[in-house]
Amino acid sequence: MAFGLFKSDAEKAEDEWRKAYEKGINQKRWDEAAKHFKKAYEHYRKAGDPKAEEALLLFYLSVSFSGNLDALKKAGELAKKFPPNTTFRIPFEIRAEDIAVEAPLLVREIPVRRALSDVDSLISSGDEGKMEAFASRLESISKDLLMNSSRKPLLGEFFGLKEPFEKRGYRYLAYSKLLRAKIQALYDPQQSIELYSEAMGYFKVGNMAQPAEEVTEEMNRVGKVAKCWFCGRTIQGEEIHYVRMPAEVTPYLLSKFRDEKPETVGDGYVIACRACYSAIYITSDSIARRYYQMAMKKLEQVRQELLAEIQRLNARINRLEGRISSLRWEG
């Protein structure tokens, strides 16, 4: 052991380099790998050995494999300084060029992938600004992934992203179209249908059958047309721009108007455009509120009258008790 004290920095660096693989990389213990690559870097640097940069790059990669995206970003930046075909073992061989390309893609993709798991909540919020901002992020990363579709994903397997760039790119592009279709459905149902159609195509290319089916259902719903029973206007977009409103529809009304196109009435409901529906709802709510306030006012009036009567009764009782007491004293 004493001989270790007399080793040169270059020898110490080689020892740490070997330990980084034996105790870290080969066993997929990234913390151990990072610890020894860092020490190797420090010794190589003291020895003036250019291999220090390789050790530093492998240090960043080892740290990143535990989920540190800042380290992954630094690895991508450092990889650009090496000749493109410089190879590193992690434990399989990977070129500097592959690291320089894939690392920054993953740095951007991983947060998007995480956010995508909660996309339903985003849609439910109805926040158009956030939906459009996320759609832009999805579209941006999808374009870069598709641009590199000829490459084989290598670093991605350390982050649960083994699928080809192309498949991932089409998936994000599909969701970007889906979000924009949701927004556009409020303003232009026909344009929304076109966006839904694009989303459906990209989902199919990305081998995502379930979202494609859901998009088809949504597209059909947005495309439906009906006529408002109240104002007679033709409206497109079921549950968006018109609703089925519960109603007492007599057999006569049903037989007379059920076959009209577009639909205006059905068994137990009539079609109401959002404007008419909301006007009816707001007016009925206002009337109900007014009657409630009138009822509460009347109740308060009755309460005050009862309190006054109770006070009068209490006063009479007190007077009677006083008389009784005086009669007892007289007796």
Question: What is the per-residue pLDDT across 138-167, written as a single tens digit (0 to 9) for each?
Answer: 999 999 999 999 999 999 999 999 999 999
Side-chain half-sphere exposure of 68, counting CA atoms within 13 A: 15
What's the N-to-C CA distance of the chain in angstroms? 120
Backbone angles phi, psi at 263, to 5 degrees: -55, 140
What is the per-residue pLDDT across 292-309, written as a single tens digit (0 to 9) for each? 888 888 888 998 989 888
Calpha distance 22→228 (Å, rounded): 74
Task: Give me the pLDDT at residue 331, please.
Answer: 57
pTM over 0.75: yes
What is the per-residue pLDDT across 224-261, written as a single tens digit (0 to 9) for each? 999 999 999 999 999 999 999 999 999 999 999 999 99
**What is residue 94's DSSP assignment?**
E
Task: Indicate the average pLDDT of the chain.
Answer: 92
Q: What is the residue-wise DSSP string for 174-193?
A: HHHHHHHHHHHTTT-HHHHH
pLDDT band at 39 (very low <50, low <70, confident <90, very high): very high
Label residues 162-180 b or e (16+ Cβ within 10 Å = b): eeebbbbbbbbbbbbbbbb
Question: Taking the CB of residue 283, how many other CB atoms lie within 10 A of it?
Answer: 10
Backbone angles phi, psi at 232, to 5 degrees: 80, 5
Write the burial class of residue 126 (CB in 10 Å: 0-12 exposed, 13-18 middle, 19+ buried). exposed
Calpha distance 93→154 (Å, rounded): 9
Least confident of 4-13, 41-50, 178-187, 278-287: 4-13
Task: Give me the pLDDT at residue 2, please.
Answer: 43
What is the per-residue pLDDT across 314-323, written as a single tens digit (0 to 9) for each? 888 888 887 7
Calpha distance 145→217 (Å, rounded): 28
Q: What is the residue-wise DSSP string for 27-51?
A: GT-HHHHHHHHHHHHHHHHHHT-TH
Beta bridge partners of 263: 226
Beta bridge partners of 227: 234
Q: Which of 182, 179, 152, 154 is nearest to 167 (CA)?
A: 152
Least confident of 56-70, 162-176, 309-323: 309-323
Place of tokens 């860092």: 38
Task: Give me the pLDDT at residue 37, please.
Answer: 97
Calpha distance 182→304 (Å, rounded): 55
